[in-house]
Amino acid sequence: RIQITEGHLHINGEVVERKLIGEYMIRNKRGDFVSTLLYLETLPGGRSHRIIEISDEMILDNTDEYLVPEGHYFAMGDNRDNSLDSRVLTGVGFVPEVNLVGRAERLFFSQDGSAKVWQFWKWLFAVRYSRLFQEIT
């Protein structure tokens, strides 16, 4: 059972620990910088990862409870207010185990969404160079 309430992740009725690290700047699709908050979220079992939130009042920050079917996984993006993930059942939804082919170990490419495919003159400024080839932990 998974649910989000006021931006906080709950797994099987228990709130997942989330500690504020600080402010984090991202670029929106128009290329403008937006201030977000960077958190360290620690899952049951001790595995931690960073997430960013613009606020705890966005459309996917308060959800119904999701019951993940047997043989499926629930996946969430690290940019919680701008991720099309398992919270959107008509989008990604629950991921069947048979669709998992391996573990991601490196981020190959990242861009901020400010350049469309046909806007090649903007590509240089849209790349998030600090994320290229980063190890995924």
Convert the pLDDT of each residue in 90-99 to its tens digit: 889 999 999 9
> CB-hemisphere CA count at 13 Å for 11?
12
Residues 94 and 115 in one domain: no
Q: Is the pLDDT of residue 81 over 90?
A: no
* Structural element, H or E, at residue 10: strand 8-11
Distance CA(88)–CA(92), nearest Å, equals 6
Which residues 6+ apart lie within 8 Å of 110 measured at CB?
Answer: 127, 128, 131, 132
Residues 106 and 92 in one domain: no
Q: Is the pLDDT of residue 11 over 90?
A: yes
**111 band by pLDDT with thresholds 50, 70 and 90:** confident
Residues 38 and 75 in one domain: yes
> CB-hemisphere CA count at 13 Å for 125?
14
CB-CB neighbours of 53 under 10 Å:
21
Residues 93 and 114 in one domain: no
Residues 10 and 76 in one domain: yes
Domain count, the chain: 2
pLDDT over 90, % of the chain: 54
In 3-state terms, what secondary structure has residue 125? Answer: helix
Tokens coding 17: 């620990």
Residues 74 and 129 in one domain: no
Residue 94's domain spans which residues? 2-101
Residues 90 and 116 in one domain: no
Summarize the confidence of residues 24-37 as an average pLDDT.
83
Residues 36 and 61 in one domain: yes
Residues 26 and 68 in one domain: yes
